[in-house]
Structure 1
């Protein structure tokens, strides 16, 4: 069996990993640094009907909370540098492509069991939203490929 192309690394034990709630916003922010204090930019409220509402740069956003199914774990991760191959073979040597494939790693930053998907001034439609629909389709596929067929009934 070949080695995995990607691995998750966590420095803390699973009980110590911080909990988070990812927010998928319908915009692109061209900034990768710290934003302190975050409350001046992002402070969602929950309406009486349970719908999350927020304002971001003057635009009203309505959210939909999507919980992960039982048995699944979400992680927020950042890319780590790929491990370098052990070295080049001497002239005329044979290269084992599987052994020389760099292994990628992701460093776990936080865990989550729900996420909030936001839309401009309207509730998120799960059948049309690419994130919610993609997650539902992926979960259905994962259930199919990781399930075992039921045994056939015995014939008499």
Structure 2
């Protein structure tokens, strides 16, 4: 099985698809439709932290910036194959260079797996770059 990622209408190299409103939330919503998010997801900011609640549960968030030279993408798959061995096609909907990372009732910390993964990008680049004398 191969995975193909294709440029959407906006393209990965343009800033037209760049969005500032990306969130990584600690739960799944089993729906694939538009929603009036502001009606159900209220957020406020204090210092560098953001506070919100979803269905009465407290969330604490922090903005995470991707390392220089990297860009995040939001992908969409129009039709998922019925068999695992078939190729899959994803289209780029949006690009981003920062996102809000949310935790249930605790401040996001460097010990969180997602934060460590973002930090690992810089470490991996340093480990695998050529050594110059």
Structure 1 SS opposite 2:117: helix
TM norm structure 2: 0.77
Taking the aligned partners of 1:45 and 1:39, their CA distance within structure 2 comes to 12
- Computed over aligned residues only, the root mean square deviation of the Cα atoms, in angstroms, reads 2.6
Taking the aligned partners of 1:105 and 1:142, their CA distance within structure 2 comes to 28
Taking the aligned partners of 1:139 and 1:60, their CA distance within structure 2 comes to 31
**Structure 2, unaligned runs of 5 or more:** none
Match in the other structure for 1:57: 55
Structure 1 SS opposite 2:74: strand
Taking the aligned partners of 2:99 and 2:71, their CA distance within structure 1 comes to 12
TM norm structure 1: 0.68
User: Which of residues 124, 128, 132 is equivalent to 1:141?
Assistant: 124
Please identify the structure whose Cα radius of gyration is greater. 1
Match in the other structure for 1:123: 107
Higher share of residues assigned strand: 2
Taking the aligned partners of 2:125 and 2:79, their CA distance within structure 1 comes to 28
Change in CA separation of 1:15 and 1:50 when aligned onto 2, cut-off 3 Å = closer
Change in CA separation of 1:9 and 1:69 when aligned onto 2, cut-off 3 Å = same
> How many aligned residue pairs are there?
127
